[in-house]
């Protein structure tokens, strides 16, 4: 109360920062409480619940659910699909970003829009597209049947669907980064006699490595967690075409809650590891960026 009547002086100066918002203490605390409450309800409680439910029948039951053959086969398939889809998107993403950011050509904007397409359509529709293309009654269905190749309700279809859904992650991460870096370093490299591959591996790649790693982590997380598109093309054959997310759903539908959450907790752990890695890479990337930013901001120093 006393401070309110004092003229502006050194003693009141530190309070000016607090007053900048102009809200009373009560309002501020209510807002903070709402935010925290919302976050715990939507993020924290479900996360904890997964582990609580998973362990509800004790550690032995948890362990049993995880090492059950169908669950192990689902885990293997999930890893296999990610092991194909992620490298495929690594190549595609880097190639697309390189092409978009370092060259000028007709139809560039169309290509950028196309890369965003998997983000824009619902994953279920992405799955349907592949059924329409490769299913028994699809465009290539008869030809595939003739040559005895199974795509839909088999692993190739699931790989295709996952690759499609996760296609934008790496490209989207790299395009702005590479556009910002420009083409001068590459031009300098080719003038010095470097070939295309030498320029890429010695100049371009080292400059984008943190952004690339970040994109890879996100892409991998999505590839392992994808449900909708994979569900449409999988056929849900236990021990054959089930991935971890699909296996969770099957167990849940069979009222095997503890087992279902046990498998879910494996996926959740994977997600947490991904988040930790992501944070680490982000931190590294920021450091690399501030290093690069310094190139343009340091004041001139006369050479010694």
Measured CA to CA in angstroms, residue 89 lies from 93, 159, 169, 216, 220 at distances of 5, 11, 8, 9, 10
**Residue 241 C-alpha from the chain's centroid:** 23
In 58-174, which ranges are E strands? Answer: none
Under the binding rule (CB under 8 A), the answer on residue 188 touching another protein is: yes
* Closer to another protein by Cβ: residue 187 or 254: 187
Min dist CB 177 to another protein, Å, is 13
Footprint of another protein on 230-259 (CB under 8 A): none
Q: Does the CA dihedral 121-124-127-129 come out positive or negative?
A: negative
d(CA 97, CA 211) in angstroms, rounded, equals 12
Under the binding rule (CB under 8 A), the answer on residue 17 touching another protein is: no
Choices 30-38, 56-64, 156-164, 179-187; region in contact with another protein by CB under 8 A: 179-187
Under the binding rule (CB under 8 A), the answer on residue 284 touching another protein is: no
Footprint of another protein on 203-232 (CB under 8 A): 203, 206-207
Choices 70-78, 91-99, 189-197, 225-233; region in contact with another protein by CB under 8 A: 189-197
* Contact assessment for residue 246 and residue 74, using Cβ atoms and an 8 Å cutoff: yes
Under the binding rule (CB under 8 A), the answer on residue 304 touching another protein is: yes
d(CA 73, CA 236) in angstroms, rounded, equals 12
Q: What are the structure tokens assigned to 213, written together?
A: 């790693």
Identify the residue among 27, 187, 238, 287 touching another protein (CB under 8 A): 187
Min dist CB 203 to another protein, Å, is 6
Min dist CB 102 to another protein, Å, is 13
d(CA 240, CA 28) in angstroms, rounded, equals 54
d(CA 107, CA 121) in angstroms, rounded, equals 21
* Closer to another protein by Cβ: residue 16 or 302: 302
* Closer to another protein by Cβ: residue 47 or 289: 289
Min dist CB 32 to another protein, Å, is 40
Under the binding rule (CB under 8 A), the answer on residue 300 touching another protein is: yes
d(CA 228, CA 237) in angstroms, rounded, equals 16
Identify the residue among 202, 236, 238, 287 touching another protein (CB under 8 A): 202
d(CA 76, CA 300) in angstroms, rounded, equals 57
What backbone phi and psi angles, to 5 degrees, belong to 10? -60, -30
**DSSP, residue by residue, 111-137:** HHHHHHHHHHS-HHHHHHHHHHHHSTT
Under the binding rule (CB under 8 A), the answer on residue 292 touching another protein is: yes
Min dist CB 297 to another protein, Å, is 10
Identify the residue among 7, 14, 60, 193 touching another protein (CB under 8 A): 193
Min dist CB 108 to another protein, Å, is 15
Q: Which residues bind another protein (CB under 8 A)?
A: 184-185, 187-195, 198, 202-203, 206-207, 291-292, 294-295, 298-304
């Amino acid at each position: 109360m006393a401070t309110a009547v004092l003229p502006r002086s050194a003693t009141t100066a530190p309070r000016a920062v607090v007053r900048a918002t102009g809200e009373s203490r009560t309002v501020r605390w209510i807002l903070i409480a709402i935010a925290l409450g919302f976050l715990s309800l939507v993020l924290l409680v479900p996360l904890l619940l997964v582990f609580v439910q998973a362990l509800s029948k004790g550690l032995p039951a948890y362990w049993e659910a995880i090492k059950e053959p169908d669950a192990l086969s689902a885990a293997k398939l999930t890893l296999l699909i990610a092991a194909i889809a992620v490298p495929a998107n690594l190549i595609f993403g880097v190639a697309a970003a390189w092409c978009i950011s370092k060259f000028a050509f007709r139809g560039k904007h169309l290509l950028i829009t196309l890369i965003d397409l998997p983000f824009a359509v619902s994953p279920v529709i992405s799955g349907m597209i592949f059924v329409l293309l490769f299913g028994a009654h699809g465009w290539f269905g008869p030809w595939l049947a003739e040559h005895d190749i199974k795509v839909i309700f088999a692993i190739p279809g699931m790989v295709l669907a996952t690759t499609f859904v996760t296609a934008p992650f790496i490209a989207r991460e790299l395009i702005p980064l590479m556009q910002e870096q420009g083409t001068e370093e590459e031009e300098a490299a080719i003038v010095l006699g470097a070939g295309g591959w030498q320029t890429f591996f010695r100049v371009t790649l080292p400059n984008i490595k943190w952004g690339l790693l970040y994109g890879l982590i996100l892409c991998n997380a999505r590839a392992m967690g994808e449900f909708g598109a994979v569900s449409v093309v999988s056929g849900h054959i236990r021990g054959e075409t089930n991935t971890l997310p699909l296996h969770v759903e099957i167990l849940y539908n069979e009222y095997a809650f503890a087992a279902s959450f046990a498998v879910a907790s494996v996926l959740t752990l994977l997600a947490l590891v991904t988040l930790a890695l992501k944070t680490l890479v982000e931190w590294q990337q920021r450091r690399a960026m501030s290093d690069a930013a310094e190139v343009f901001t340091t004041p001139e120093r006369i050479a010694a």
